[in-house]
Amino acid sequence: MMRVAVLTAALVSGAALMSLEMAGFRLVQPEFGSDIIVWGSLISVFLGGLAVGALVGGRLADRRPALWKLGAIFVAGGAVALAIPLYADAVLDWMFPGEGAPLPSDWDQAATDDGGLVVYLPPDLRWPTLGAGLLLFLVPSVLLGMVTPYAAKLLIHTMPHLGRGVGNVSGVSTVGAILGTLGTAFYLVAWMGTRWLLVSNGLVLVGLGVLLGVLDVAVRSRGARE
C-alpha cells in the first residue's frame, strides 16, 4: 500500500512538473516570443528547482520521514500552481514593461555599411526571461523536486535494496515526466488552455497531497489498533 502510494506520488510529481513547464512556455511566449532564449531560460529554472528541491528534500527526508509530510509538499506545490495565473501578468509586465518603454530610437542602432540600411538591434531578453521564469516557476519546481528523494526514503525504509528503491522512484518519476510532457503538448493545451492547465495541475497536486495525508492517518490508526 505504502509502496503504491509513494510510487504514484513520484509519477504524479514528474508529470505535473513537466506539465507546468509546458504551460510555462505558453504563458511566456506571448510576451517574449518563441526565441530559444525563452526555452533555455525556462528549462534552466525547472532544472535549478529540481536541484534545490533534491538537496532540501533529501535533508528533510532524513528527519523522521512520514507520508503525510510528503502529502504536505504536494499541497504546497499545488497551491503555488493554483496561484500562478493570479500573478503571472504582473510578473511578466514587471520583467519587461510594455507601453511607455523606450522607443527604438533609444536602442542600440547599428547602421550597416551596405547602403546605410538603418537597423535597430533588439533589447537583451536573457535576464528578463530568466527573471520571469524564476519568479513564476522556481518555487513549484523546488517543491516538486523534493518529492523524489523523499519518496525514495519512504520506500527504502521498507525495502532492503537501496539501488533498486532509488531506481524505481527515479524511473517512475521520469515516466511521469514523459506522460506529463506529451499529454500536455499533444492534448491538454488544446483541450483546456493555459490557465486551466495550471489550475488543474494545482488541483491534482493538492488532491493527491490530501489523499496521502488521509492514507497516513488511516495507516497509523490501523497500526495503533493492532
Partner 1 sequence: MSRWRVGAWVSVAAVVVAAAVWGRAQSGADEGVVRYDRESRYYRIRVVDYPDRGRRCLFFSRSRGIQSSMVLADPSRLDLRYSQAMVAALAMGEAPKDVLLVGLGGASIPKFLQKEFPDLRLDIVELDPAVVQVCQDYFEFHGSPNVRVIVMDGRMYLKRVEKTYDVILLDAYAADHVPFHLTTLEFVNLVKSRLKPGGIVASNLWERSFNRFYLAELKTYQAAFPQVYLLPAGQSGNIIVFGTLSQTPVTRKDWVLRAEEMVRGKDFGFDVAGLIGKEYEYLTTREISEAALTDDMAPVNTLRREHPKYFEAETGPPGGAP
SS3 33: coil
Give 3's contacts (C-beta < 8 A, 6+ positions apart). 155, 158
Restricted to residues 1-30, the positions that interact with partner 1 (CB under 8 A) are 29-30
Q: Residue 221 interacts with partner 1 (CB under 8 A)?
A: no
Q: Residue 226 interacts with partner 1 (CB under 8 A)?
A: no
SS3 197: helix
- Least distance from partner 1 to the Cβ atom of residue 113, Å: 9
Which set of grid coordinates corresponds to residue 13?
Answer: 510529481
- Cβ proximity to partner 1, 23 vs 80, nearer residue: 23
Torsional class of 133: left (φ above 0), alpha (ψ -120 to 50), beta (otherwise): alpha
| Euclidean distance between CA atoms 19 and 146, whole angstroms | 17
- Least distance from partner 1 to the Cβ atom of residue 96, Å: 8
- Cβ proximity to partner 1, 62 vs 93, nearer residue: 93
Which set of grid coordinates corresponds to residue 130?
Answer: 530568466
Give 129's contacts (C-beta < 8 A, 6+ positions apart). 28, 32, 35, 37, 38, 41, 42, 95
Binding mask 35-54 for partner 1 (x = CB under 8 A): xx------------------
DSSP 100: T
- Least distance from partner 1 to the Cβ atom of residue 176, Å: 23
Restricted to residues 75-114, the positions that interact with partner 1 (CB under 8 A) are 96, 98-104, 111-112, 114
Among 47, 121, 214, 217, the residue binding partner 1 under the rule CB under 8 A is 121
- Least distance from partner 1 to the Cβ atom of residue 38, Å: 10
| Other CB atoms within 10 Å distance of the CB of residue 167 | 12
Q: Residue 216 interacts with partner 1 (CB under 8 A)?
A: no
**133 in Cβ contact with 42 (< 8 Å):** yes
- Least distance from partner 1 to the Cβ atom of residue 139, Å: 22
Q: Residue 163 interacts with partner 1 (CB under 8 A)?
A: no
Q: Which residues bind partner 1 (CB under 8 A)?
A: 29-36, 96, 98-104, 111-112, 114-123, 189-191, 193-196
